[in-house]
């Protein structure tokens, strides 16, 4: 249940019962009606701008309107107080008993399930290349967004648009032709970097790889066979790491190669519409508009060597997804160096008449930097693989645990390490860069993954000690209890906002604030102490139970796991 929506509906229905005001409640007002948390909690639980909105059409000052409609709003059930603040905000406070009732009986499921479909494009790894730090954000944020969307009822399809049909594959095939297929898993991730390094020093090698790429795309059987053997090995490597990271499996992994089948179809459409231009042997699509104030280069549809391009794969993918999934929205999560690329592709899609009813959205990420402000590197100056990243974090967690004299299993250390790494990634606004500091992210205090898990483990252990939770008794609420219950009630609005804004960091920071409130509650409201009367104990245990419910759900949506002990 989204209590904010509930309150908003109650305000509207009350005002509509009032004959003098009814006609002023226009669709515009409904759209702009805001229910927020008042600047100071003691002002109430909710603050609304309704008087400001009505002021213009009713020809009175917001304060006058507020005074006028206050008696009507007093009819809202379960209201404790209603007051006017500042220029005309109306603050509402609900009765403690009601807050307790709805928060403790809430299952926090979404109010309405949508039927919309969303295609998500994240990951986008490359064949023959180990996942590295540059893949962390697209993977973690994409996965959490997918979980949030599924929770709200969206039908999602997660595409790992693998870079498996362009020059990297050509470079791998060139290498395989000379050195044979990989003998072990390490070989799989070694061949592409080796071949790519050689191409930088040896133009003939590069040319050979380019030629192979074009021939592969044109159906060369021998090369296709190498692809068919190599690709599953490479994907096996990817999926092993994604399992380690607790990322939901992708629904589609075939990437550029899958799309290649549809390129001729799209080529025909583009040709028929006369959209393709020829330029120095390449085929391009011009996407510039008169109003552009920034450079807007054309889309490279086919390279002068005759190869299918990165852009062609993305443009064709839009065509393919419309044809097969016909989603309401396609969202891409990549780093922000691809912002121009997606702008071009979206324009090209519109020019070609594709996806006219589909919203196309690119969410671009900032960079992960070291404490020196430069892109994060390991001590030996290399770009770390994601496996190495997890190991670095796990080592730090292990050292901390040892220092504190605790003994935790390797499995638990791994869960904490993943929480440290992933939560730190999730809590930052995707658009901005962030500093990765291994000591900071593994701390058990402050805005960190371990702190979140620790709070959940603690709640779990309280509940384990008492066994069954009985229905809550009817005792008064202390302010810390009331604040916590109000915050639990905010869960659904948070999830909806995180979804609408494409901003999982809203969820991550909610989880942190929730933990802080839980810990404040725990310190001020003792539960298991002998002098605590039975009915108060029962009520507090019910609060613990609901807190754990909401916290666990938040943790699950972030793709983290709660250990048995910490
Ligand atoms: N494979 C690409 C790269 O490593 C990223 C793919 C992003 N997704 C996409 N649909 N273009 O740069």
Q: What is the 3-state secondary structure (H, E, C) of 268-290?
A: HHHHHCCCEEEECCEEEECCCCC
Give the percent of the chain with pLDDT over 90: 89
Element (H, E) at 121: strand 117-121
Q: Which of 122, 124, 332, 345 to mutate to test the pocket of ligand 1 (most atoms within 8 A of CB)?
A: 124
Among 78-92, 464-478, 484-498, 499-513, the range scoring the smallest mean pLDDT is 464-478
Q: Which of 122, 141, 161 to mutate to test the pocket of ligand 1 (most atoms within 8 A of CB)?
A: 161
Ligand 1 geometric centre to CA of 234 (Å): 16
Q: Which of 158, 338, 349 to mutate to test the pocket of ligand 1 (most atoms within 8 A of CB)?
A: 338
Q: What is the pLDDT of residue 214?
A: 96
* Cβ pair 449, 422 in contact under 8 A: yes
Which residue is it, tokens 């007051």? Answer: 83
Ligand 1 geometric centre to CA of 313 (Å): 10
In this prediction, residues 275-300 reach a mean pLDDT of 96
In this prediction, residues 515-543 reach a mean pLDDT of 94
In the DSSP assignment, the letter for residue 362 is: E
pLDDT at 469 over 80: no
In this prediction, residues 230-254 reach a mean pLDDT of 96
Ligand 1 atom with the shortest distance to the CA of 255: 10
pLDDT band at 202 (very low <50, low <70, confident <90, very high): very high
pLDDT band at 392 (very low <50, low <70, confident <90, very high): very high
Ligand 1 atom with the shortest distance to the CA of 122: 8
pLDDT at 195 over 90: yes
* Cα 236 from Cα 2, distance rounded (Å): 41
Torsion (CA) 397, 398, 400, 403 in degrees, nearest 10: 180
SS3 559: coil
Beta carbons within 10 angstroms of residue 187's beta carbon = 17
Among 259-273, 315-329, 461-475, the range scoring the smallest mean pLDDT is 461-475
Ligand 1 geometric centre to CA of 259 (Å): 13
Ligand 1 geometric centre to CA of 160 (Å): 9
Nearest residue CA, atom 2 of ligand 1?
124
Which residues are CB-neighbours of 276 under 8 A, at least 6 positions away?
267, 270, 283, 284, 285, 301
In this prediction, residues 17-37 reach a mean pLDDT of 91
* Cβ pair 1, 99 in contact under 8 A: no
Q: Between vectors from CA 159 to CA 158 and to CA 165, what angle results, nearest 5°? A: 170
Ligand 1 geometric centre to CA of 391 (Å): 25
**Which of 74, 88, 253, 230 is closest to 159 using CA atoms?**
253
At CB < 8 A and 24+ separation, what contacts does 17-22 make?
A: 17/72, 17/75, 18/69, 18/72, 21/54, 21/58, 21/69, 21/72
In this prediction, residues 405-425 reach a mean pLDDT of 97
Ligand 1 atom with the shortest distance to the CA of 310: 11
pLDDT at 380 over 90: no
Q: What is the pLDDT of residue 2?
A: 85
* Cβ pair 46, 6 in contact under 8 A: no
Torsion (CA) 406, 407, 409, 413 in degrees, nearest 10: 30
Ligand 1 geometric centre to CA of 200 (Å): 22
Tell me the CA distances in angstroms from 300 to 273, 280, 307, 447, 494, one per residue in order: 17, 12, 10, 44, 41
In this prediction, residues 427-431 reach a mean pLDDT of 95
pLDDT digits (tens, 9 = 90+) for 83-94: 999 899 999 999
The whole-chain average pLDDT of the chain stands at 95
Q: What is the pLDDT of residue 112?
A: 75
pLDDT band at 40 (very low <50, low <70, confident <90, very high): confident
Q: What is the pLDDT of residue 290?
A: 94
Beta carbons within 10 angstroms of residue 497's beta carbon = 15
In this prediction, residues 300-321 reach a mean pLDDT of 96
Ligand 1 atom with the shortest distance to the CA of 126: 1
pLDDT band at 224 (very low <50, low <70, confident <90, very high): very high
Q: What is the pLDDT of residue 123?
A: 97
Q: What is the pLDDT of residue 113?
A: 78
Nearest residue CA, atom 6 of ligand 1?
124
Ligand 1 geometric centre to CA of 545 (Å): 43
Please return the burial class of 429, using the count of CB atoms within 10 Å of its CB with bins 0-12, 13-18 and 19+: middle
Tell me the CA distances in angstroms from 547 to 193, 475, 552, one per residue in order: 48, 18, 8
Element (H, E) at 79: strand 79-85
203-217 and 167-179 helices cross at what angle (nearest 10)?
110
Ligand 1 atom with the shortest distance to the CA of 342: 11
DSSP string for residues in 294-344: S--PPEEEE-TT-PBPHHHHHHHHHHHHHHHT--SEEEEEEEGGGHHHHHH
Nearest residue CA, atom 11 of ligand 1?
314
Ligand 1 geometric centre to CA of 255 (Å): 9
* Cα 210 from Cα 232, distance rounded (Å): 22
Ligand 1 geometric centre to CA of 163 (Å): 7
* Cβ pair 397, 417 in contact under 8 A: yes
Ligand 1 geometric centre to CA of 504 (Å): 21
Ligand 1 atom with the shortest distance to the CA of 159: 10
Nearest residue CA, atom 7 of ligand 1?
124
Pocket, ligand 1, Cβ cutoff 6 A:
121, 124, 126, 161, 163, 314, 332, 334
Ligand 1 geometric centre to CA of 500 (Å): 24
Nearest residue CA, atom 5 of ligand 1?
124
Q: What is the pLDDT of residue 472?
A: 67
Ligand 1 geometric centre to CA of 124 (Å): 5
Ligand 1 geometric centre to CA of 364 (Å): 12
Nearest residue CA, atom 8 of ligand 1?
124
């Amino acid at each position: 249940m989204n209590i904010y929506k509930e309150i908003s509906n109650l305000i509207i229905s009350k005002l509509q019962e009032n004959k003098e005001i009814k006609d002023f409640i226009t669709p515009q007002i409904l759209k702009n009606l805001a229910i927020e948390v008042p600047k100071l909690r003691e002002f109430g639980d909710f603050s609304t701008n309704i008087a400001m909105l009505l002021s213009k059409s009713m020809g009175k000052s917001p304060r006058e309107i507020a005074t006028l409609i206050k008696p009507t709003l007093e009819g809202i059930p379960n209201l404790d107080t209603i007051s006017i603040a500042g220029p005309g905000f109306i603050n509402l406070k609900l009765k403690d008993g009601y807050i307790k009732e709805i928060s403790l009986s809430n299952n926090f499921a979404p109010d309405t399930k949508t039927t919309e479909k969303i295609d998500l494009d994240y990951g986008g790894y490359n064949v023959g290349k180990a996942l590295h730090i540059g893949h962390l954000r697209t993977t973690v944020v994409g996965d959490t967004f997918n979980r949030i969307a599924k929770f709200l009822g969206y039908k999602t399809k997660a595409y790992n648009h693998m870079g498996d049909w362009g020059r990297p594959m050509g470079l791998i095939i060139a290498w395989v032709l000379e050195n044979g297929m990989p003998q072990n898993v390490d070989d799989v991730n070694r061949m592409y970097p080796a071949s790519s390094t050689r191409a930088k020093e040896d133009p003939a090698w590069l040319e050979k790889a380019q030629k192979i790429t074009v021939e592969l795309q044109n159906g060369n059987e021998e090369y296709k066979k190498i692809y068919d053997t190599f690709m599953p090995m490479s994907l096996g490597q990817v999926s092993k790491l994604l399992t380690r990271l607790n990322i939901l499996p992708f629904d589609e992994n075939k990437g550029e190669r899958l799309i290649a089948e549809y390129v001729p179809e799209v080529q025909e459409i583009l040709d028929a519409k006369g959209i393709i231009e020829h330029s120095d042997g390449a085929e391009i699509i011009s996407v510039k508009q008169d109003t552009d104030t920034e450079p807007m280069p054309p889309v490279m549809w086919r390279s002068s060597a005759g190869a299918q391009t990165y852009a062609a794969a993305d443009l064709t993918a839009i065509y393919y997804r419309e044809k097969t999934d016909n989603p309401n929205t396609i969202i891409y999560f990549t780093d922000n160096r691809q912002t121009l690329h997606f702008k071009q592709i979206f324009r090209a899609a519109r020019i070609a008449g594709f996806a006219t009813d589909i919203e196309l959205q690119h969410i671009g990420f900032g960079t992960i930097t070291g404490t020196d402000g430069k892109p994060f590197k390991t001590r030996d100056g290399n770009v770390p693989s994601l496996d190495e990243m997890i190991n670095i974090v796990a080592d730090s967690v292990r050292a901390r645990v040892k220092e504190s004299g605790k003994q935790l299993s390797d499995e638990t250390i791994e869960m904490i390490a993943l929480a440290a790494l992933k939560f730190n990634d999730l809590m930052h606004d995707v658009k901005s860069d962030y500093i990765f500091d291994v000591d900071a992210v593994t701390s058990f205090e402050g805005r960190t993954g371990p702190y979140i898990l620790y709070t959940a483990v603690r709640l779990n252990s309280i509940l384990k000690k008492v066994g069954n939770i009985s229905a809550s008794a009817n005792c008064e609420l202390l302010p810390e209890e009331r604040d916590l219950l109000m915050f639990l009630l905010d869960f659904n609005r948070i999830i909806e906002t995180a979804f609408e804004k494409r901003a999982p960091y809203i969820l991550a920071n909610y989880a942190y604030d929730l933990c802080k409130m839980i810990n404040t509650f725990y310190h001020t409201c003792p539960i298991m102490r002998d002098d605590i009367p039975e009915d108060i104990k029962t009520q507090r245990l019910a609060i613990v139970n609901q807190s754990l419910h909401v916290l666990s759900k938040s943790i699950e949506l972030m793709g983290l796991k709660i250990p048995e002990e910490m």
